[in-house]
Structure 1
Amino acid sequence: MSNLSILRLDGNKIVGSIPHEIGQLKSLTKLYLYDNNLTGSIPASIGNLKSLAEFRLFTNSITGSIPLEMDNLTNLEYLLLTENFLSGYLPGNICLGGRLKWFTADYNHFRGSIRKSLKNCSSLVHVSLLGNQLNGNISEEFGIYPKLEYMDLSNNKFFGKLGRNWGQCPNLTMLNISSNKISGSLPPELGKAIQLHVLDLSSNLLEGTIPKELGQLKLLYILKLNNNTLSSKVPTEIGMLSDLEELDLAENKLSGPFPKHLEQCSNLRDLNLKKNILSGSIPFQIGNFHSLRNVDLSQNMLTGELPLELGHLNMLETLNLSHNNLSGSIPSSFQELISLISVDVSYNQLEGPLPKNKAFIEAPIEALEHDKGLCSSGNNTRLKPCPIQKRNSSKNVIFAVIVSISCSLVLLLFIIVGVVFIHRKRDTNMDESRQTQETVTFYEAWGYNGKKVHEEIIEATENFSSNYCIGVGGY
């Protein structure tokens, strides 16, 4: 066993502690003990494994502190201690050999500051220390890491201001320092970390404005600055982040109108701007945010009517517009929100019937209350019904108009037919009168001078010549 270089016992259900004899395997370069049920502490004899390059111990139940003897592991490249019950301080000289690339100690009970060995460890590529009780001034604890790609320091107790050094990490793709006590303003130099995909500085004490230089982070798809005290408007340069999928600026002091320039973020899925001081109306351009799935604009100072273009967001799943001063009725286009599963429009000045949409029909009363006059057309029993009389009156007016127009058309038709009939009747009477007059005139002429007529007949028939005989009788 003295020549054993790789020992893999990961992914089993091994119980008990790590034996002291592990230190006798001096040729080990890789020791994988992760994803077991190991307990107890890390034996000091681990420091004898001077050839060890990878030590993976995550997802166990190891307790105690890291032995000082681990500083002897100068060839260490991977040290993964995530999800244990380790306490005390981080190892002081764990990067003494200048080879450490991956160091993860998430979800333990480490306290104190980052040791100098880590601050000057330029070989670091991946660091994850979230969910501990680490503290110290963030501007002094970390250095410049030219190879760093991933840094997660969230859910600790770091304080101080963000330094310019983070913009000098050209390969950094993920920076998460959320849920600490970081203060001061956001350094514009962050815009130089052009490989960033994720930037999460939420739940700190940051103030000032959002630097326009963040618009240079063309690969950014998650930007979370929520729960700080950032002020002023959302810079138009944020609209240049065409790959942005999640934007969370909630719980700040951002003011001005709704940032309609975000319509250029064609991949934006989650937009959270709640608990700010945004004013004005929701622009119709919001209908161009075709990828939106979750929208929260609650607890602002938005006014005006809801744009019907909101109903064009076919992929929208959740919509919270509560605690604003929105007015008017909810557009009927909201019926087209076929993916909507949750909606909250409470504490506004909205009125009129609810859209015939499943999310509105099944919405709890808390999501619809304290408005000016929202009502249900029978589709939501938790809300008062819309006035029936008003609806019938409207229908009656429409019916009366239709009947009136129809009667007028019929009457006009009768008048036209009557006029045509009278004209034709008059023409017929004149023809009959003319024919009668001619007949009367003929017979009057006949009876007036019969002798003359008789003479004319004798002359015309040449004294009744047989040449003019038409036919002969039968007998």
Structure 2
Amino acid sequence: MVSIKILFYFLLVFLSYSSPQVASFSKIIVAVGDQGHVPLEIGKLNKLEYLSIAENNLFGPIPQDIGMLTNLKLIDLSTNSLSGSIPETIGNLSNLNELYLSNNSLLSGPIPSSLWNVSNLTLLYLDNNTLSGSISSTIGNLANLVELALDVNHFSGSIPSTIGNLTKLIVLYLGFNNLFGTIPPSVGNLINLDVLSLQVNHLSGTIPATVGNLKSLTTLELSTNKLNGNVPQSLNDIPYWYSLLLADNDFTGHLPPEICSSGSLAFFTAHLNHFTGPVPRSLKNCSSIARLRLEGNQLEGDIAHDFGVYPNLEYIDLSDNKFYGQISPNWVTVLGHSYYNTDSTLTGSTIIPLAEITCPKNFTSSNQNSHVES
């Protein structure tokens, strides 16, 4: 199997003789797990349209000459050990549709301003690096973006309102950064959005009611921020929830009652807030639920009446609330684990008061880039 070093040596030797066959190569795909770096002379492959060298232990910087490959439509350098910053010359690649630089933990510095002018980009994955700086308001220029992942970096500043220009977006990952300020109401313009992940930041203020405009949304991740106020009832208007993560904020008021009216909700976490009143009535028949965390609120009601039978249940915690009544024996049958508690307000022939119900050891998070533990 040819290595990266040998492949590029072969190409560049031929280039040194001005070989038209090599110069006209349109695609390089290497998947060999070998070590090496992207050669500085790569800019000579000026007919190249596809460059994929993912998962190959590449190290060192991305060469500035990559900006000479103006025919490139795809770059995939993800899951390597690249370091340094993203070169400003990447903004020269006006034909670029897909850029994958994920999982290069030493890739640092700000996103070059020139990148926000590559208007043909549809897929942009810069997640799991150490990129920093703010998200420029000129991100609104990337009107053709369908998927954007900037999560697990060190970005700071606010989410620009121009994010609302990206009306073709289907997934937006901004979680696990240092973003602050409010969630801009313009996110309500992203009517094709399926996943909105903003968890583990320093966002404050309320959830804008415009989120209810996102009728295609199935996953909303807002856990571990500083959000407050009531959860807008417009969330009831979203028809097919799969994952709704609201935990570890300062929310007050009631939970949206119709979050599982479609019967598709699998992950619902609202623990460590200040919610009051009853649990959402739609949870009674929410047979799709796999993970339910409501602990650390002031919710109340009869546990036997307000909760149902959950055949897909893998984890449930209702502790530190004001629930009373008898726990369903079906939970024991489904979960098949031993639990402990000292809460005397729960009664019945099957007494398993819910100070904590622990997660099965074989439980793992599902959903791309999602952390359903939150």
Q: TM-score range by the shorter chain?
A: 0.7 to 0.9
> 1:463 — aligned with what?
none
> 1:102 — aligned with what?
98
Q: Please state whether the residue corresponding to 1:350 is helix, strand or coil.
A: coil
Q: Which has the larger radius of gyration?
A: 1
Q: Hey, which of these two has a bigger chunk of helix by percent?
A: 1
> 2:334 — aligned with what?
339
State whether structure 2 residue 9 is matched by structure 1 residue 20. Answer: yes
Residue deviations 1:199-258, cap 9 Å, x none?
101001111111111111111111111111111111111011112111001111111123
> In the TM superposition, what are the counterparts of 1:158-307 in structure 2 within 5 Å?
158-282=155-279, 284-307=281-304
- 1:315 deviates by 3.5
- 1:310 deviates by 1.3
> In the TM superposition, what are the counterparts of 1:385-404 in structure 2 within 5 Å?
none
> 1:323 — aligned with what?
320
Residue deviations 1:92-142, cap 9 Å, x none?
122314101110111102111111221111110001011111011114463
- 1:349 deviates by 4.1
Give, as a single letter, the amino acid of the residue that structure 1 aligns with 2:80: N
- 1:367 deviates by 4.3
Distance 1:322 1:268, change over 3 A: same
Q: Aligned equivalents of 1:283 and 1:53: distance in 2?
A: 52
Structure 1 window deviating more from structure 2 (278-287 vs 113-122): it is 278-287
Q: Pick the aligned partner of 1:69 from 65, 71, 75.
A: 65
Q: Aligned equivalents of 1:134 and 1:280: distance in 2?
A: 42
Contact 1:174–1:197 (CA<8 Å) still a contact in 2? yes
**Superposition CA RMSD, Å:** 2.5
> 1:350 — aligned with what?
345
Residue deviations 1:374-403, cap 9 Å, x none?
xxxxxxxxxxxxxxxxxxxxxxxxxxxxxx
Aligned residues: 349
Distance 1:288 1:152, change over 3 A: same
Identical amino acids, percent of aligned pairs? 28
Q: Pick the aligned partner of 1:85 from 70, 81, 86.
A: 81
- 1:309 deviates by 4.2
Q: Aligned equivalents of 1:215 and 1:256: distance in 2?
A: 18
Contact 1:190–1:213 (CA<8 Å) still a contact in 2? yes
Q: Aligned equivalents of 1:154 and 1:295: distance in 2?
A: 24
> 1:371 — aligned with what?
none
Give, as a single letter, the amino acid of the residue that structure 2 aligns with 1:39: Q
Structure 1: segments with no counterpart, 5+ residues: 1-11, 369-475
Q: Please state whether the residue corresponding to 1:119 is helix, strand or coil.
A: helix
> 1:37 — aligned with what?
33
Structure 1 window deviating more from structure 2 (118-127 vs 301-310): it is 301-310
Structure 1 window deviating more from structure 2 (163-172 vs 175-184): it is 163-172
Q: Pick the aligned partner of 2:53 from 44, 57, 62.
A: 57
- 1:301 deviates by 1.8
- 1:319 deviates by 1.3
> 2:364 — aligned with what?
none
Q: Aligned equivalents of 1:347 and 1:14: distance in 2?
A: 61
Contact 1:322–1:344 (CA<8 Å) still a contact in 2? no
- 1:143 deviates by 3.7
> In the TM superposition, what are the counterparts of 1:351-390 in structure 2 within 5 Å?
351-353=346-348, 355=350, 367=357
| Greater RCO, 1 or 2 (C-alpha within 8 Å, sep 6+) | 2
> 1:461 — aligned with what?
none
Contact 2:67–2:92 (CA<8 Å) still a contact in 1? yes
Contact 1:321–1:344 (CA<8 Å) still a contact in 2? no
Q: Aligned equivalents of 1:280 and 1:137: distance in 2?
A: 39
Using structure 2 for the length normalisation, give the TM-score: 0.86
